[in-house]
Chains A and B, each alone.
Chain A
């Protein structure tokens, strides 16, 4: 990627005059565009800012919020918080896994779905809960999960 210009990442970097102090915000900006932090993106940021790629990777790998692999168009986050756990979140995770046929952290072949287990979403009163992109779903049962996933698939013509 050396020498190549990436206008999207440039636009993110422009917002932060001190990219080193704002490294987390920079990486969040990049992740918002691509859905994850790619090796190419890390190298590009290094090239532009002189922040060592080791430091960028150190930060990107430390925080649960950064993904080093691509995500699906629909990113399902199954809450593994305490209240959800007490109300059966493991079974919710198992159901998502069975419905999508992929392990946590992976993407379906059509690129439509990925799923992961996440720390508390703060929706404890409607546990068990999950989020798909920015929308929260609560009071889940295995059947409700199947319904939600099916309706997305249907909406996508699958």
Chain B
């Protein structure tokens, strides 16, 4: 029997260490051991242990703690695994319908062991690629139809071919692991859970374009990913799979890791290159493209983590197999990171061509508390909100772009009726205005002005002309900005205006926030008939805004109240209501 414990950042944050303690203590002196693996994507049920029985059957346990881990271990010792804490059939639907390529090793291999990766078929593709040679590799990638998974969806083979065609003895492979898109965490999961898959993809890309050095630009906010990458590279060196003349093939390659310093704009290729050279991460106009003049002014191929993680599978299984999945223009699988108000959040890898509904309802079980879905946000700060009546949109690069959102890196934030669309637009605009590098005027000043207008609207001081001004400003920033960050920054605002204009109008005309979220437009109130005077809310209130006499209805002082919601969370009688737009009511 094998015990695989999900030991990614998310698992650890949910208590994987106490589970480890519980299991290890019970297993001490027995034949059983616990294997630490990466996140298997079932984040909603962390901490997770997968038990693989001797006959190959797999049983998943979720939401474990120390006590239940001890129970699990004891039951394993008796040979009869316990029933408690098993994921239900309904929950396991999360895994059915997924097709895992990028995530195939996450939760299966020990990310801190090269042997484990090799036992699971790792580095076979590298061997194969070495015998194929450059042209055949690029041809296979071309057949596969692989497009960049970082956001823009540019065909990967064109980039590789361009870098190959550039003449130089010194070329570079750069992996963009600066996953800055809030709401996307697939790159973290792959780097933490299966780092060798990314390294192998980079090495194959190196063979294809003739590069001997791979640089990984990884977020400093992902310390566990950095640690495991370093360990993986160290092990490769020890085993002679890195350095000069790898496997006697004549091919030499090595890696370097650089930690990003926290700038969203560095997702843009030229900004990333500036950052790699020790500069402020500011984009420059293209051409020259990085394939001609990139890192250290040499030809450079830059792809994102997920793109590289697809490469070894394509080389092993052939481009045709990859291209047999997906839609006309978008081939293969895509990993989506589901979060927000969704019932089962986590990582979902599916063939392109499913609908958003298939993922949110079919795989992820719908909305928390069975609330009504309002919209799904795709593409983060560069994307947009897709409304409920369009969730049957088929997922591929072109279809998503048609809605006004973008595929982006695959973050899907699910929103219910409690999410205010003006607030969301303001949230993203606050993000992009802070992350704007400041180089070009449309982005630097334009996003700031848009944010000011949105803040005004959320504060109940909006004017009727504001919506048109936002659209006009947004359109001019889209066309006038220098790089992708500015070109796409207005998308969250433009899509929410397009699909939820009535919410903007309610904020402006009726001074009402329909989702009851914008603090300036809401007020908490105790319903006298329901309040039993138990005083619990008054004791929980952090600002002493609630007062009254025991056993008679309490009152909230609107001046003092900070609208934190603590009272609603504590009240057992549903006696506290949020009121917005009183003029109308």
- Where the two chains meet, the residues of A that have a C-beta atom closer than 8 Å to any C-beta of B are 20-25, 27-28, 58-59, 62-66, 80-83, 85-88, 91, 94-95, 98, 118-127, 129, 131, 134-139, 141-142
CA separation between A138 and B339, bound complex, in Å?
13
- Where the two chains meet, the residues of B that have a C-beta atom closer than 8 Å to any C-beta of A are 9-10, 12-14, 43-44, 46, 179-185, 188, 219-223, 258-264, 275, 277-281, 296, 337-341, 345-346, 377, 380, 411, 413, 415, 419, 424, 427-428, 431, 435, 437, 542, 562, 564-566, 569
Which of B9, B263, B341 meets A86, CB within 8 Å?
Answer: B341
Task: Output the least CB separation between B367 and chain A (Å).
Answer: 12
Q: Is the CB of B222 within 8 A of A122?
A: yes
CA separation between A98 and B222, bound complex, in Å?
28
Task: Output the least CB separation between B188 and chain A (Å).
Answer: 4
Q: Is the CB of A122 within 8 A of B279?
A: no
Q: Is the CB of A94 within 8 A of B564?
A: yes
CA separation between A23 and B296, bound complex, in Å?
14
Which of A82, A88, A122 meets B427, CB within 8 Å?
Answer: A82
Task: Output the least CB separation between A100 and chain B (Å).
Answer: 13
CA separation between A148 and B562, bound complex, in Å?
22
CA separation between A135 and B180, bound complex, in Å?
19
Which A residues are CB-close (under 8 A) to B281? 62-63
CA separation between A134 and B13, bound complex, in Å?
10
CA separation between A24 and B565, bound complex, in Å?
42
Q: Is the CB of A86 within 8 A of B13?
A: no
CA separation between A126 and B13, bound complex, in Å?
8
Which A residues are CB-close (under 8 A) to B431? 119
- A124 with B339, Cβ < 8 A, contacts A21-B277, A63-B261, A64-B263 known: yes
Which of A59, A125, A131 meets B278, CB within 8 Å?
Answer: A59
- Which of A21, A58, A59, A83 has the most chain B CB atoms inside 10 A of its CB? A83
- A65 with B260, Cβ < 8 A, contacts A59-B280, A136-B12 known: yes
- A24 with B183, Cβ < 8 A, contacts A88-B565, A94-B562 known: no
Which B residues are CB-close (under 8 A) to A25? 258-259
Q: Is the CB of A87 within 8 A of B261?
A: no
Q: Is the CB of B9 within 8 A of A122?
A: yes
Q: Is the CB of B564 within 8 A of A65?
A: no
Which B residues are CB-close (under 8 A) to A142? 542, 564, 566, 569
Which B residues are CB-close (under 8 A) to A136? 9-10, 12-13
Which A residues are CB-close (under 8 A) to B185? 120, 122-125
CA separation between A82 and B338, bound complex, in Å?
11
- A65 with B261, Cβ < 8 A, contacts A82-B413, A86-B419, A122-B188 known: yes
Which of A63, A126, A135 meets B262, CB within 8 Å?
Answer: A63
Task: Output the least CB separation between B231 and chain A (Å).
Answer: 16
Which B residues are CB-close (under 8 A) to A80? 182
Which A residues are CB-close (under 8 A) to B280? 58-59, 62-63
Nearest-neighbor residue (CB-CB) of B281 within chain A: A62
Which B residues are CB-close (under 8 A) to A87? 340-341
